[in-house]
Structure 1
Amino acid sequence: MSDGNFGLTEAVSIALGGMIGGGIYAVLGVVTQITGAATWFAFLLAGVVAVCAGYSYIGLNELVTDGTDDTGGGSVTFVQSFTGNSTLAGMVGWTLLVGYIGSMAMYAFAFAEFAIALPVVPVSLAGLSLRPVISVLAIAGFVGLNLLGARATGEAENVLVVAKVLVLVLFGIGGILYALVVSPAPVQLGLTRLTSFSPIMAAAISFVAFQGWQLLFYDQESMANPLDEIPRAVYIAIPTAVFIYVIVALTTYNLAPAAIQSHPHTALTDAAATIAGVVGLASTGAIVLSLSALFSTGSAINATLFSAGYFAKGMLSNDLLPDRTGDSSASGVPSQTLLLIGVITAIFTAYGSLSAITSFASLSFIVVFGAMSLLAFTQRDVDQITAVWPAVGTVGATLFFVLMFYHLYAAERRTFYLVLIIAVVVFLAELLYFEREIIEEEIPFLDSHTGETVD
């Protein structure tokens, strides 16, 4: 997968790889606890807003590259091109980068939980919990893989995506057939909840599960025909992800209701055991699903790290990140940048709260996707953009943001304050970096030798 050889298959793999691992194995339990049997509808709502945001990104990307030799870009490029405000573009970029790190930390958290669910892996060793250790090792492994280069990363991603999609589709379809034919209880769809706010609130929480397609806009230098490949990949990947989320949510809720309440993050293994138990292979079914979860979350880490590295390289080229974080002239992603992203992600996943990480990442993507939809709406007079889809994306993202903040404040007060603290720290860091020249001019500093104030 060298430069120019990144085709539609790899593009779809990167997009799906960045979505499936988050949607099913990291946030399904959280979403189900909010809206119950209507979880499938929450994923559908989030998917609609994601498609509208995808349409907006594609339209803006075509405008940026129209009539030029530019390789396009993502949110940062769009803000710079259409507002001319580098500081605003940089702050959007930093917010997204933190969102990517939070997403990878979330995937690594889920990776470790499913690893521990395997019979051969203990929960602790010598009194030390293995969950943080496994999460950090997973991050380290995929950082090492990315350091080998784009070809190794892409080939690994293709294998991981095929494996996880195949298992999840079989699991979902098999589960629905089991619920319809074998189970004596009727299939629960949560229809009474569809008129309430709970599915919309749950859709906001699950929005982090739909950020993977956006990674494609940072990989354009690896594509031969990005203006052709990206739209097709986005419009294949998002509906595919929605389909998988819906059938897996229906299966898990109907076949493992007790597990959803007691250990929601690994409830899929209980549902898989129920399905495979029909032919006397309950343990095998649970193991296969756990292995699929490792493929899925590993794939999500790999895809997000690969594209976040290119994203950071683009920011370095535009002086939107400190020079110390990497060399923008390096071929591929700078090694220093990958290592730095990996270290921060490892710290996040080892010491962070899963709920806080998930919530902040979701809010980050809601804000940025909504902003890009609004930006596309302002360009509605051009041929490449029709107003209705960016409008739906803007309104949907705004509603998601308000409802998610309300949910966190009302039901998860501790997480609410943690998210606020993370947001304030990120904002202050952005402000100090992008306004550093003004701050240096306005604030006197002390001479390091005399201790006297210097104007």
Structure 2
Amino acid sequence: MSSAPSPVSGLPDELQRRLGVPDAVLIGLGSMIGAGIFAALAPAARAAGSGLLLGLALAAVIAYCNATASARLAALYPASGGTYVYGRERLGEFWGYLAGWAFVVGKTASCAAMALTVGTYLWPGHAHAIAVAAVVALTAVNCTGIQKSALLTRAIVAIVLVVLAAVVVAALSSSAVDAARLDIGSDATAGGVLQAAGLLFFAFAGYARIATLGEEVRDPARTIPRTIPIALGITLLVYATVAVSVLLVLGPGGLAAAGAPLTDAARAVGADRLVPVVRIGAAVAALGSLLALILGVSRTILAMARDHHLPHALAAVHPKSKVPHRAELLVGAVVAAAAATADVRGAIGFSSFGVLAYYAIANASAWTLSPAEGRPARIIPAVGLVGCLVVALALPLPSVATGTAVLIVGAAVYGIRRVAARWR
């Protein structure tokens, strides 16, 4: 296996290590505690009924395995690109390329979904226009430097946590709470629980952002393995608390039928004054997710451009702000175009499939580590790999079919480039 790639100090395309544990945790939280908690509960309840919490637990187990594998790999290969780098170094160039392809395409769809969530909550009649404006604004923030992005993420996470705490307190202190509604799994099927896990995994996947920012984290060998489990643990605690609270108030059937679960829960307990607060909180949460998503996608594009899998001009790093500004601008332009035309429901399913494929490659890469390289217990990448594949295939058929087709297209592009290179 080849050694970890590391940019040579002083080169113009070197990123600066400015993020410590607190900022890296906040970027992970900003990615995970985002629009997913406002949007994913209802479709998960429709899939699994009272088995929603089982789906959440399964998603958390898979996410933990993925996080552990990603943390060990990121500490060994602290360069931008995440599993694109790990797959390339551990499994071969093709698997790294396929991981990068799945991440960029899938997360670009996720960016569009988050932007549309902002528009839907802030101004439903003009959701697409607001979505495009949000993408333009956050791309501009990202281009000014990674520290400003971390500061904005800190403010967003604080606002979202306050809103979620207000809903939980209102729900648990209400006479509308009925413990019988937590009859976990009584109306669930195995397929429904798996599908719910896939939908809820969409909201957990933000810890990848920490790994893709590996080249901008101080002391990555210590910081990344500490940061990812902390961010994941906090997110799981928040998600479980909110899910239990909403289930106690609405029940599985009411939650499944809810258009905006947290808003409906606030109304059900007579806390109408919380409704506009929840709407604003949902929009802010989506902005936090979008901010971190654009960061992660642009860094993967940077890594792929360095290796000429994408145009090498995208590997440029701005001499002043020290961010990959061309990659940032490209991501912003593509996401803005998608947000102007896309459907949020299809984007979420498609993104989930791509992210699960990405993590399957991460777990396969972690399996190849030796004990001297910090290999986790073998059961962790094994469970992560199998879990990713099973949950991905349990997603709605259109998402599976479209996601598979996109991976095949990516593999074909790679093969064509290889053949063309031999004829030069």
For Structure 1 versus Structure 2, the TM-score category normalised by the shorter chain is: 0.7 to 0.9
CA displacement at 1:421 relative to structure 2: 4.2
* Aligned residue among 143, 150, 161 for 2:146: 150
Matched residues in 2 for 1:194 and 1:369: separation? Answer: 26
CA displacement at 1:53 relative to structure 2: 0.9
- What residue is the counterpart of 1:198 in the other structure? 192
- What residue is the counterpart of 2:108 in the other structure? 101
- From the superposition, tell whether residues 371 and 356 of structure 1 become closer, same or farther in structure 2 (CA, over 3 Å): same
- What residue is the counterpart of 1:308 in the other structure? 297
* Aligned residue among 58, 72, 77 for 1:45: 58
* Aligned residue among 262, 275, 293 for 2:282: 293
**Equivalences for 1:45-444 in 2 at 5 Å?**
45-64=58-77, 71=79, 74-83=82-91, 85-116=92-123, 123-124=124-125, 130-178=126-174, 181-183=175-177, 186-193=180-187, 196-256=190-250, 260-264=255-259, 266-275=260-269, 277=270, 282-324=271-313, 326-331=314-319, 332-379=322-369, 381-382=371-372, 384-385=374-375, 386-404=377-395, 408-409=396-397, 415-416=398-399, 420-421=401-402, 423-425=404-406, 427-428=408-409, 431-432=412-413, 435-436=416-417, 438-439=419-420
Please list the CA deviations of residues 319-344 of structure 1 after superposition, one character each: whole Å capped at 9, or x if unmatched: 221235x2434343333321221122
- From the superposition, tell whether residues 437 and 75 of structure 1 become closer, same or farther in structure 2 (CA, over 3 Å): closer
Contact kept? 1:189, 1:250, Cα under 8 Å: no
Structure 2, unpaired ranges of 5+: 1-14
CA displacement at 1:351 relative to structure 2: 2.0
Matched residues in 2 for 1:256 and 1:115: separation? Answer: 24
- From the superposition, tell whether residues 184 and 238 of structure 1 become closer, same or farther in structure 2 (CA, over 3 Å): closer
Contact kept? 1:6, 1:223, Cα under 8 Å: yes
Matched residues in 2 for 1:73 and 1:429: separation? Answer: 17
CA displacement at 1:307 relative to structure 2: 2.5
Contact kept? 1:37, 1:189, Cα under 8 Å: yes
Per the normalisation by structure 2, the TM-score is 0.87
Please list the CA deviations of residues 325-377 of structure 1 after superposition, one character each: whole Å capped at 9, or x if unmatched: x2434343333321221122122233223222111111111112122212212
Matched residues in 2 for 1:60 and 1:327: separation? Answer: 22
CA displacement at 1:261 relative to structure 2: 4.7
Per the normalisation by structure 1, the TM-score is 0.81
CA displacement at 1:262 relative to structure 2: 4.7
- What residue is the counterpart of 1:447 in the other structure? none
Please list the CA deviations of residues 297-337 of structure 1 after superposition, one character each: whole Å capped at 9, or x if unmatched: 1100011112222222122222221235x243434333332
Contact kept? 2:107, 2:293, Cα under 8 Å: yes
Matched residues in 2 for 1:183 and 1:304: separation? Answer: 36
Matched residues in 1 for 2:266 and 2:230: separation? Answer: 27
- From the superposition, tell whether residues 11 and 62 of structure 1 become closer, same or farther in structure 2 (CA, over 3 Å): closer
State the Cα RMSD in Å: 2.6
- From the superposition, tell whether residues 286 and 227 of structure 1 become closer, same or farther in structure 2 (CA, over 3 Å): same
- What residue is the counterpart of 2:49 in the other structure? 36
Contact kept? 1:74, 1:218, Cα under 8 Å: yes
Contact kept? 2:107, 2:355, Cα under 8 Å: no
Contact kept? 2:210, 2:224, Cα under 8 Å: yes
CA displacement at 1:73 relative to structure 2: 5.4
Contact kept? 1:371, 1:394, Cα under 8 Å: yes
Contact kept? 1:87, 1:434, Cα under 8 Å: no
- From the superposition, tell whether residues 26 and 102 of structure 1 become closer, same or farther in structure 2 (CA, over 3 Å): farther
Secondary structure of the corresponding residue to residue 435 of structure 1: helix
Amino acid in structure 1 at the alignment position of 2:94: T
- From the superposition, tell whether residues 262 and 191 of structure 1 become closer, same or farther in structure 2 (CA, over 3 Å): closer
Matched residues in 2 for 1:260 and 1:82: separation? Answer: 43
Matched residues in 1 for 2:169 and 2:381: separation? Answer: 33
Contact kept? 1:38, 1:199, Cα under 8 Å: yes
